[in-house]
A and B are shown apart, each in its own frame.
Chain A
Amino acid sequence: MLANIGDWLNERFGWRSVWEAIFLRKIPHVNWLYTLGSATLFVAVNQAITGILLTLYYVPTPDHAYDSVVYITTQLPMGWFIRGLHHWGASAMVILTVAHLLRVFFYGAYKFPREVTWMTGVILLIVVIGFGFTGYLLPWDQRAYWATTVGTRIVGVAPVVGDWLLRVARGGDELSAVTLARFFGTHVWVLPAALIILVGMHLYLVIRNGISAVPGKDE
């Protein structure tokens, strides 16, 4: 019965060949370091699930942001758990992404034909850091406020356009409701959209080009 439905769908979607291309592709004999990319992907999915759940209660305005976060962690069943997963997942994301990058770098896996995989990877790293930076402000507590005050000041150091960039980042001279709203919008709309597109390209290229083998001793 189930197999029949599977066949029926496969005749129309051809999803089996997609499945085979993704999961039954040939890979060289590799080691555990090759799981770092998948580990990053796993945590990215964790961030998406828990992040969506957090938006059910979180409110990105100065008069409610902090209270809504406290409400999530202290009043809601499992709120501390959902927020904890998102909080620690954020750090794990950065660590795993960098570890994955290092593996690719030291194995020389960025070389032809995988240069574009590397380039999409670099943008992904920037996106991951962007998530961390914009997310850090959202609880709107003292730490968030001052970290972002300092963090945005860094763009102000850029020559010539620095001052202007600083104002764009903050949406004004000071951190305000405008800053919080644009950080939130970036965190939940702009960066996730970029992440999905880039991960799609990245994985397409990984599958298309195949995984590189572990380099030999004399390579």
Chain B
Amino acid sequence: MGESDNKEEKINRSDFMKATIAGIGGLIGIAYGLPAVAYVIGPAAKQGSSDWIQLGSVNKIEMNTPTLFKAVVETQTGWIKSEEEISAYVLTENGQDYIVMSNVCTHLGCRVRWVAEQGEFFCPCHNGVFSRDGSVVSGPPPRPLDRFESKVEAGILYVKRGG
């Protein structure tokens, strides 16, 4: 079947087949390609969940006394879930505004403890001392206790994950 057989026809059989195969092939390529791309980039496109972690009711916080809260934070990376307990001291001076401080010493990461009699935080590792609002009183800690961003909703205190 040479070209000469099909002189009159606008499109011959062979060209029609070529176009059809290319068209269907292209569609199949897209049907695989687009889902594949979505599937591969999926985990990267997912926003890091900037969740609010629930600490507890603000009722139990005494005025001017740092109160210890504990919360379990669940994180999921891929199919692996892990739980981490975070602890934070919460201070309020007016019952309206809350300062949420990490209990991790800014020196080398030991846990600080509120000692009510002295009215200060003590770190047992190298005798770091922090005041009520977390600023350094004495010892090696280079900066005040880290703070969490926080909010109160319907009497419940929340802190922001990772900060």
Contact = CB atoms under 8 A, between A and B. Distances in A.
A67 B78 CA distance: 9
A71 interface: yes
Given A68-B78, A70-B79, A81-B35, A53 B40 contact: yes
15 contacts: A49-B36, A53-B36, A53-B39, A64-B79, A64-B80, A67-B80, A70-B79, A75-B42, A76-B39, A76-B42, A76-B43, A77-B45, A78-B36, A79-B42, A82-B35
B76 to A, nearest CB: 9
Contact of A56 (B38, B40, B79): B40
B78 A77 contact: no
B81 to A, nearest CB: 9
Given A76-B42, A77-B42, A82 B78 contact: no
A57 interface: yes
Interface residues of A, number: 16
Contacts of B78: 57, 68, 71
A189 to B, nearest CB: 22
A164 B32 CA distance: 43
Contacts of B45: 77
Contacts of B38: 77-78
Nearest to A65: B79
Nearest to A81: B35
Interface string A63-92: 010011011000111110110000000000
Given A76-B42, A77-B42, A67 B79 contact: yes
Nearest to B39: A78
Nearest to A49: B32
A94 B38 CA distance: 29
Nearest to B35: A78
Q: Is the interface of B mostly helix, strand, loop or mixed?
A: helix
A82 B79 contact: no
A53 B36 CA distance: 7
A68 B35 contact: no
Contact of B36 (A68, A70, A71, A82): A82
B35 A71 contact: no
A76 B45 CA distance: 10
B47 to A, nearest CB: 13
Interface string B45-65: 100000000000000000000
A115 B45 CA distance: 53
A155 B40 CA distance: 39
Nearest to B32: A49
Nearest to A70: B79
A77 B37 CA distance: 9
A53 B37 CA distance: 10
The interface centre, meaning the residue of B43, B45, B78 with most chain A CB atoms within 10 A of its CB, is B78
Given A53-B36, A77-B35, 4 more contacts: A49-B32, A49-B36, A71-B79, A79-B39
A82 B80 contact: no
A79 B80 CA distance: 17
Contacts of A82: 35-36, 39
Contacts of A78: 35-36, 38-39, 42
Interface string B83-96: 00000000000000
Interface string A44-66: 00000100010011000000100
A68 B79 contact: yes
Nearest to B36: A53
B127 to A, nearest CB: 43
A79 B78 CA distance: 13
B152 to A, nearest CB: 32
